[in-house]
A and B are shown apart, each in its own frame.
Chain A
């Protein structure tokens, strides 16, 4: 009897174990998003993540910009590795719609748009599209009463998140947007949406995307910090401010062909109040790792080396393959190889190509050679201790860019020449005279490959400005976007003429040797001319079209 009682007590004890808190659990290692962003410092952490999110798309951006321009080529023509294969397709304007690099760039960019949308929603910022597409009344409204931070604090965060969102959309629309079809823009998300809602969303028009970009950048100009560079506290450096937003908005207007608005937006940046100026000490000092965020850098995507998980992987990607540790620890991949016409080793023979940058100071920073055949991008090469862990920031908007944009907006005149000359002077070059850019002066180029001979004639102003930008911003992922934009800001020099010239000049040396996708010169030229340059626009990743079984997403023409 006594024994039984003992056992039964035991039974009773055991039954007490049944507490439901065994199954009411939350993550111990991660914060639940729904319960966060309740105060200013938490909101700032969300914003910091948006800056972090800028890094990853950048590791793919050169594939879609520099490689497609006349600046660089895929040099591993005989390689059949997956990556070289993919790079070759892009370089030859023949990407399959399942291209991995395109999909990754798309996904990583949209992931950071998601980060920005999370923050914008948390600070109560909402986007109102203009009443008519292309109207100027699009706006970002900030809710006046939210408990997590003061209105001023929330406005400041919204300004920066708006800038980042606009930066991403501006890149996306230039890479994927086409006016050849009515809904030829990308997918417009101004807030986080559910997976179900996403399947009901189709592409917007190009103009609708620009409406959002402009509204976001106006918000960033209005609410962003207008502190001049000189009084910035160190912790502000790296944040997008009103000046950076102006520079980007100026570029948006210029891309849309509105030179007047571009000039008006950009001029305050070069007024004394901004505190920004050219880093006149030397071109090299603009990119020096011990001089990051100098007064020329309006905005940069920042990296930090030293094993903290924030290093820049580009130097290892760009260092020549098979160079062991002679160029960088852990060898290079040999991607993004400068074209021979741009490369330093041809500088000694300037009669071949007048394209070569005459500024030795600039050329030394931009490229270097390991052996006679291995020229590589040297711009971000801080020789890190670890592979893929360089310190170098990646400049997005520089003061010299603003100067040259103003020249582009102004056209061939003395003021523009002044802007160009201040950039040239920092590069150690003699000032040009007004006669050198005179509107009527043209320059003729002839190049042959086999039976194909090309003759191109450019007005001298366009040629000078195009070259100046090309050398000044070499490998900063500007060239492709410049070439596209010139169609609106220039008369003759544009992406089509430049790329045709590029293919003819490089065919025998490079493209003919490709084994993965052997193409004829005619095919290459066709890829950049056919169907009104349709292949200048990248395909929407096939993944999107395959995943959506409810809305048919229209692919860009010619894919």
Chain B
């Protein structure tokens, strides 16, 4: 097979040398700025050559009447008659036709006008001035159909990116990121925005299918900046600014909350519904609900009130303010680029320092990039790049939730007043002799002490429960019964520092074997080494705990060899571009985690000083993954009007077992450039009208390693006398059952698109409609728990995504001194489950057993819980309902002021078959588990982004809005009693008594929840935000020349100046979502709890080129 091919190549190669000389013309091609242009196609009669690195060409023509044609992408073509001139220097005008920009596609490039798939391009004009530290964040709202969600707004956190909805549920669904032809396993995290020249997104399967197994979730192609043949150019960019939290939770401190309770008691006291208030407590027990809270609880809040009033001067701590800070943001970029006849280079280094608005949250990134292209000879080119990077990330040990939910009466650190109170108390506790000023204050230090003071209404502290009744307003109480340390102490006693050392490098040789025929071989190596130390000081999480260090070491190596043969030929009316290739990839990873305990000092944190190693926190594993692929593509164009592209890829993956390893991914697309037809080419205002259609298959294999075989894991036991001896054991899986038949998941996508440009390209529209069907879903399916394992791998089901995307860019106004341009994108996507094998539906649980239903015919995820109809207004209302036969099997349902669940469904046992039958929509007067129904879904109706750019002389100004419309989220916050009581979003207008029902919808704090998912916690997830504002001033070139610069720009950029959340949303960041644990599956989506505020960032920057 190989040998005949080789001989064929040899024969073909020798043809190159059989040309004869005639009339010779030479010259240099310049652009309008006077810079030479390499790679311009110069053709005459039957020949065609390209200008060299310095823009020079030399060509033999038949006669002086011969015509020379100069064409280059991005420039208008020019034709000259040779005449007498033997030296012809040409200046090419830059093409106004943006449609003919070059677009990077998989394994090649294409003219924009020839693209038949759905490819969006985003050029880095001022992207690196956006005040964010990561490229994914910068892309938010920029490209239609690319949804970027900052689910966590901590410094350096990964954003969740999805292209055209959800194509996969359990296999990895993040898009493939390819940087200069090399897949980047790290996604967009390690890419330096300043190095990026352009971002292309392959959205439809026809474009992505050439990437086969990894294209199912779309492909993001990053092209980095390259050097040009020129003298060396330096660029320096510096920006610096600060970040603050956009907003905070509205909280009452303990004093305010106690005051609220007393106010509410007074309001209730006027309610004729209450006849005989308890003479001692003045708390009215009705149906056993004590409306000031129950006995011990009242005691707790009163004791807490006393601490806050008497020891903290009435001013409680807002732990949000304690933990949030104004943080710094810094970005420094330096690059040098240039080249000579035989080589071009681009070298850059960058530093980004991004402090989080939360203490102990920091992100630093150093990037180095060198890219060198060398022409080893006329036919052999070498391209080489080396990109080391280093990131350091410090993470807080405590979730932000722990702070804003924390009791305000407890100081973070003991003051003289609190120590005096604890030590000299009438009933000192075990901690009294030990605590001292400056120590962290924990709830346990305040237990069982004697409290004495006045309450907000002037009454003395009393004991309502009659058990430990004090006299004269003096009583023993425990303000907060929690074993947990205060969160500030916990935060400051832990250090979590991760460092990642990355290296992406690659080299490619390309050999021009024949005119138009190139062979390219590329080898790339990606290495990453992560280390993390998760350190806890002594007593960090509780008294008497040893100090602890958990060391994580992960190494990752990805080796890739790609070999392609590319043939390009332009005929008179036809163009042909063929690629065939073979690639092999091997990935090796190794992980170790070591837990050391009991160090001599909190300051010596290396493993050598650990007294012992904890086996429970010590693991090691390694794995490897392989991928083999064959690929091919033909692009054919006829008269530039009729375009055809067809591709094929076959992938073999180690993720699947024997017999299931190989998958095939064909694709085809067609295009018709209508404006080039004779009946339209004279319409002056029409610059482009093109129709595109494509169909293709892409695959997904990104499941857990070795999902095809069950693995045994260590499960040891102690046998023998006394404490016993450890004996090794091996247990079967307890997490997910393997499936030997598991194989490729495939996505079949149809795309129809339209490109329209009008009025001298001032008005450009791209519109696409698509449908993609993912079949044989790689599904972590819930199994019956009695199999002993809650999940199993399956390969069933089918998911349908369809939607449309619309991109519009207009130049609204253009004059010499003023320009206003707008770009807008809107995307809509909707998904539906087509089938799930033998299942009618799946139901999956989140962290609080809230259910997510995945049902055939419905959107992928729907929230499944109870409908509510406000709250029960009174016991009378409840008694009436019960008298009408309403019953319930749910605990704690019938409580005045508690949520009133709606009886939606009934059920009965079929009298003939004895089978259970659910009567949907037929209430049966029993509120039970069968009344759960669909109460929302997390999918937006559409997502949009719009950017306006103004240029007024040397001043430029742009602002970008971005938004998500529609969709819901489950707000997990109101599941917590402390949230419902102290957060004013939940305690305003709440039910107080039958006469004071508030808004009739807000339940009284403790009642009626029990973790049941109800529509009371389902809220709108819509929002829009002023993501970026950028204002810049570019100094005149004359002035710059005087001071020896080629350009100088000053700018200011702001992020998240305004965010608008939908009405009814009660959290602080509509974008926040839980995405770990159960939420890492796409089948469980849309849950938010205790999210972190967005960051508002303002920076000033300078951009110097010389």
Q: Which residues of A contact B (CB under 8 A)?
A: 1, 3-5, 7-8, 10-12, 14-15, 17-18, 20, 22-34, 36, 42, 45-53, 76-80, 82, 85, 89, 94-98, 100, 103, 106-107, 110-115, 118, 186-187, 189, 192-193, 195-196, 198-199, 201, 234-239, 289-293, 302-311, 321-326, 328-334, 370-371, 373, 385-387, 389, 391, 509, 512-520, 541-550, 552, 554-555, 558-559
Contacts and interface: CB of A to CB of B under 8 A. Distances in A.
B10 A4 contact: yes
B843 A546 contact: yes
Contact of B715 (A52, A97, A187): A52
Contact of A542 (B300, B732, B929, B978): B929
B711 interface: yes
Contacts of B296: 77-78, 513, 515
B785 A110 contact: yes
Contacts, number: 396
B782 interface: yes
A115 to B, nearest CB: 5
A110 to B, nearest CB: 4
B706 A26 contact: yes
A187 B729 contact: no
Interface string B278-310: 000000000111100111110010000000000
Nearest to B918: A552
Contacts of A106: 785-786
Contacts of A199: 784, 838
Contact of A111 (B627, B718, B788): B788
Interface of B: 2, 6, 9-10, 13-14, 287-290, 293-297, 300, 377, 379-380, 429-431, 443-444, 447-448, 465, 467, 478, 481-483, 509, 511, 513, 519, 521, 541-546, 561, 563, 582, 584-586, 597-598, 612-616, 620-628, 652-654, 658, 661, 705-706, 709-713, 715-734, 737, 781-790, 792, 794, 838-843, 845, 848-849, 851, 889-892, 895, 915-916, 929, 976-978, 1006, 1010-1012
Given A330-B545, A520-B288, A544 B786 contact: yes
A68 to B, nearest CB: 15
A291 B721 CA distance: 8
Contacts of B521: 10-11, 14
Contacts of B14: 1
A195 B467 CA distance: 55
A80 B483 contact: no
Nearest to A97: B929
B513 A107 contact: no
Contacts of B789: 111, 114
Shortest Cβ-Cβ A-B pairs, 10 listed: A325-B544, A48-B729, A114-B788, A80-B977, A49-B731, A324-B543, A30-B711, A22-B626, A49-B715, A329-B544
A32 B584 contact: no
B787 A189 contact: yes
B7 to A, nearest CB: 10
Given A27-B623, A331-B542, A310 B444 contact: no
A131 B600 CA distance: 67
Nearest to A554: B916
28 contacts: A7-B519, A8-B9, A11-B519, A22-B626, A29-B623, A49-B729, A77-B296, A78-B481, A79-B482, A80-B1006, A89-B1010, A94-B891, A97-B929, A199-B784, A199-B838, A201-B786, A234-B720, A304-B718, A307-B614, A309-B614, A310-B717, A324-B431, A324-B544, A330-B542, A387-B542, A514-B294, A547-B785, A549-B839
Nearest to A189: B786
A540 to B, nearest CB: 9
Contacts of A330: 541-545
Contacts of B294: 77-78, 512-515, 518
A115 B288 CA distance: 48
A48 B717 contact: yes
Contacts of A292: 721-724
Nearest to A522: B288
Given A33-B711, A322-B444, A513-B294, A107 B726 contact: no
Nearest to B793: A195
A3 B792 contact: no
Contact of A515 (B293, B626, B786): B293
B916 A544 contact: no
A15 B13 CA distance: 19
Contacts of B287: 520
A51 B788 CA distance: 15
Contact of A549 (B297, B509, B723, B840): B840
Contacts of B722: 289-293
A33 B652 contact: no
A28 B623 contact: yes
Contacts of B843: 546-547
A387 B546 CA distance: 9
A29 B622 contact: yes
A111 B788 CA distance: 4
A519 B1010 CA distance: 14
Given A113-B788, A115-B731, 15 more contacts: A46-B729, A48-B717, A89-B891, A114-B788, A198-B783, A307-B597, A307-B615, A310-B615, A322-B443, A330-B545, A389-B616, A513-B465, A515-B297, A515-B977, A516-B1006
Contacts of B1012: 96
Contacts of A548: 784
B301 to A, nearest CB: 10
Contact of A30 (B615, B712, B788): B712
A24 B625 CA distance: 9
B729 A47 contact: yes
Given A11-B519, A78-B296, A517 B615 contact: no
Contacts of B545: 325, 329-330, 387
B709 A321 contact: no
Contact of B1010 (A28, A77, A85, A544): A85
Contacts of A52: 715-717, 729, 731
A5 B509 CA distance: 15
B787 A237 contact: no
A48 B716 contact: yes
B631 to A, nearest CB: 13
Given A14-B561, A238-B718, A186 B786 contact: yes
A518 B722 CA distance: 46
Nearest to A302: B718
Contacts of B563: 11, 14-15
Contact of A371 (B430, B849, B891, B915): B430
B724 A238 contact: yes
Nearest to B726: A308
B711 A17 contact: no
A509 B521 CA distance: 80
B788 A107 contact: yes
B784 A25 contact: no
A12 B6 contact: yes
A79 B481 contact: yes
Contacts of A189: 786-787
Nearest to A236: B719
Nearest to B290: A518
A520 B620 CA distance: 54
Given A85-B1011, A304-B724, A201 B10 contact: no
A186 B788 CA distance: 13
A206 B786 CA distance: 16
A20 B721 contact: no
A198 B288 contact: no
Given A25-B625, A53-B731, A97-B929, A107 B790 contact: yes
B483 A334 contact: yes
A395 to B, nearest CB: 14
Given A8-B6, A48-B717, A238-B724, A31 B712 contact: yes
Contact of A187 (B483, B733, B786, B848): B786
Interface centre among B563, B625, B788 (most CB of A within 10 A): B788
A552 B623 contact: no
A80 B976 contact: yes
Contacts of A89: 891, 1010
